[in-house]
Amino acid sequence: MTPKQIMEHGLSEGEDTFAIATIVRTAGTTAAKPGAKALLRADGTILDGWLGGGCVKSAIKEATLRAYASGQPQFISVAPEEDLAEKGVRPGDAVDGIRFARNGCPSKGTVDIFIEPHLAEPDLLVFGNSPVAEKLTELAPQFGWAAAAAATDAVLPSRVDGRARYLVIATQGQGDLAALKTALGEASDYVAFVGSAKKFAFLSDKLVAAGTDVAQIADVHAPAGLKIGAVTPAEIALSILAELIQVKREILAQAAQNG
């Protein structure tokens, strides 16, 4: 699947979520052969390419959804039920990285498919004009984040389907409370506050008095960043990025485990 074919469907690496499926092995009678590729959208629908008929459609859809949820490639083997029985596996079993599915078509062929997800870069909205905010916005794209500034007292931009959202409040004394209220007003995957634990505790009391849910406040990472002894704005930004990566990996690992 070439970049041109991907772009023809209005998709862009980093900005959109899609998957590329490749047939790596076949046995018996199959419609598609090794090397066949297809471009898949979020619901498992084939946008371009060919992987065979209805015999593999359901298995591809399920595997694509798992790939999107976990961020991990999927390897599936679609085979006749009798062949699965010979291997000692059942449809849905996963063994050594291969998930097996039943081919109920009369052709009785086996198709092994590798599905590689291409996830959209998660959105990172940064509140504030502080040196830490500037450094974080500068560094984040190098680590796969679509960074943008967020207003402290305005509604956040609409969330794009399929894209994770992470918020960092680096106002550092300039609209801290307003930024926290805005950040906690919508669902997100991560909210962090740049400032001392004492300062956040003071602001938390004000948030509670204003009616903010205590559970939401408890989910805020404060102080923001991993404890690496950061002092300068660049070091603090780096510690926050490290925490962002840690949280993102934990979310993907949990999704993979649930899948």
SS3 of 152-209: CCCCCCCCCCCCCEEEEECCCCCCHHHHHHHHCCCCCCEEEECCCHHHHHHHHHHHHH
Whether 57 has a pLDDT exceeding 70, the answer reads yes
Whether 158 has a pLDDT exceeding 90, the answer reads no
- Give the pLDDT of residue 256: 65
- Give the pLDDT of residue 252: 75
Strand arrangement of the beta sheet that strand 123-127 belongs to: 146-150, 123-127, 165-169, 190-193
- As given in the structure block, the two tokens for residue 129 are 């004009």
Close Cβ partners of 58 (under 8 Å, ≥ 6 residues apart): 101
User: Is 235 in contact with 131 (CB distance < 8 Å)?
Assistant: no
The residue that leads in pLDDT, 215 or 153, is 215
Whether 44 has a pLDDT exceeding 90, the answer reads no
Residue whose entry in the numeric block shows the structure tokens 């970049």: 3
For 16, which DSSP code?
B
In degrees and rounded to multiples of 5, residue 238 shows phi and psi of -65, -40
> CA–CA separation, 29 vs 247, rounded Å?
45
pTM score above 0.85:
no
The residue that leads in pLDDT, 148 or 3, is 148
Q: What is the pLDDT of residues 62-80, one digit of tens each?
A: 999 888 878 889 999 999 9
Q: What is the pLDDT of residues 10-40, one digit of tens each?
A: 887 767 788 999 999 999 888 889 999 999 9
Q: What is the pLDDT of residues 174-231, one digit of tens each?
A: 999 999 999 998 888 999 999 999 999 999 999 999 999 999 999 999 999 999 999 9
- Domain map (residue ranges) of the chain: 3-118, 123-258
- Considering the domain delimited by 123-258, tell me its CATH architecture: 3-Layer(aba) Sandwich (3.40)
Close Cβ partners of 83 (under 8 Å, ≥ 6 residues apart): 110
> CA–CA separation, 175 vs 178, rounded Å?
5
DSSP class per residue in 81-146: HHHHHHHT--TT-EETTEEEEE--STT--EEEEEEEEEPPPPEEEEE--SHHHHHHHHHGGGGT-E
> CA–CA separation, 71 vs 189, rounded Å?
15
Q: What is the pLDDT of residues 114-147, one digit of tens each?
A: 999 888 788 999 999 999 999 999 999 999 888 9
Q: What is the pLDDT of residues 81-91, one digit of tens each?
A: 999 999 999 99
